[in-house]
Structure 1
């Protein structure tokens, strides 16, 4: 009897909570597919945004309460593929890409496959012990949640309304090209900024940050599609800056390597942030 009881060890609640958040995000991704099939695309977009927010919370929650686990990491990766690979592809296809059935479905497939490749590479790179510390400031390729949010930009434009004027209908061939471009950014090795190093806010900026977050939430509630257009374009605008900063770090590493090779006893060989 004692041996049988040992098989069912108690699991700490701190290991369960992050997985519940991940499952909630997965539920939102699946729900977005349902609303896309029903033609309720605005609700489907909101579900994807909620899934992205929950995805950003589960990892931080796990680290904060020391609830990280291998099971949680695998569950998170599978949920991300559904939420940010399959669901956005289905939303895009049912909303407009199906007007050119073969090419539209091809673009949706490429998007989902790119998200799967991006997530697989991310899991593999976690185990790289030789990665410089400054790599933590960047993602290799566009993150899957960002790819899902940015990839839906044509739909935001179509659903947005400013001053009672209906939104912009992006031509389907142009939308297909845009979706494939976002898929390329996810599968590529182009660096993107990572927000995972953001942990503490300077005391003097707390009020400013709280005000900014509250204002953003109010704007999202009032003008959801319009705000998503601005956020998507703003994120795309950061890509050249991320590439520039990444290359600056690489050049700084190369200079230190040259100095170390010529004079191993030279001071100042510790990694430092590059000058812009």
Structure 2
């Protein structure tokens, strides 16, 4: 039991260390490395939760430590990276965009902690875009930009042309995207919490097969597929909202 507590905490601290190292790489203008380190933090954040649940060592201390790590890795690190890439050029407005993202990320984590303490049985969804996903999205943007530069120079074939054609537009609206991510983190939109889903054997098999396909695609087109996965998750919360509104309107018409 104690080993489980220590292991989960070590992974959480590794998550924080990866976020800190990402910040240092951004300061030194090694943005690709900074982005990969944020994605490493995404992976570690998922693993520490799995370890804590598997060993039944989830604790209030663990929740708080996890939030501090997430704040460093998915709030501070992505903004530092974005500041040197694009926000610095905008001056004070750029700093304001980064500040809004960080504040909303902190609010998202604080709200998550409160909900975690109050709920006896966790819901199968997150309220608001998780900071992990928001940070991962910004990291995937950096990777796709770096891939685009290599693609334009003919230095790589591991690129999807249709996606590459959209990259310049994404770069132009990046400050707006950062603001949108900030607002989504404190929104009421529901995002699937895969770790909290109670899956049947049939559903588990489908998820396992999808995971294998995703891994194979990531190996073939790493930057592209990581970007697509994060953006798909981002859009899923918006689609889910309109779907629920549609379902509610149908129920309302039935009762009229």
Unaligned runs of 5+ in 1: 1-10, 259-276
* 1:155 maps onto 2:145 in alignment: no
What is residue 29 of structure 2 aligned with on the other side? Answer: 39
Change (3 A) 1:30 1:175: same
CA contact (8 A) 1:191 1:242 kept: yes
Unaligned runs of 5+ in 2: 154-163
Q: Alpha-carbon deviations, 1:44-69, whole Å to 9, x = none?
A: 11111110111011112111111112
What is residue 84 of structure 2 aligned with on the other side? Answer: 94
CA contact (8 A) 2:74 2:135 kept: yes
Change (3 A) 1:40 1:170: farther
CA contact (8 A) 1:192 1:239 kept: yes
Choose from 46, 52, 64 the match for 1:62: 52
Mapping of residues 1-276 of structure 1, within 5 Å = 12-129=2-119, 136-152=123-139, 154-161=141-148, 164-165=151-152, 168-170=167-169, 174-198=173-197, 200=199, 202=201, 206=205, 209-210=207-208, 212-244=210-242, 246=244
Which runs of 4 or more aligned residues in structure 1 lie more than 6 Å from their structure 2 counterparts after TM superposition?
A: 248-254
By how many angstroms is 1:148 displaced? 0.9
State how far apart, in whole Å, the 2-side matches of 1:25 and 1:182 are: 21
By how many angstroms is 1:244 displaced? 4.1
Higher relative contact order (CA 8 A, sep 6+): 2
Change (3 A) 1:92 1:224: farther
Q: Which is helix-richer, 1 or 2?
A: 2
Report the TM-score, using the length of structure 1 for normalisation: 0.75
Calculate the aligned-residue CA RMSD, in Å: 3.2
CA contact (8 A) 2:129 2:191 kept: yes
State how far apart, in whole Å, the 2-side matches of 1:71 and 1:236 are: 29
What is residue 8 of structure 1 aligned with on the other side? Answer: none
CA contact (8 A) 1:193 1:242 kept: no
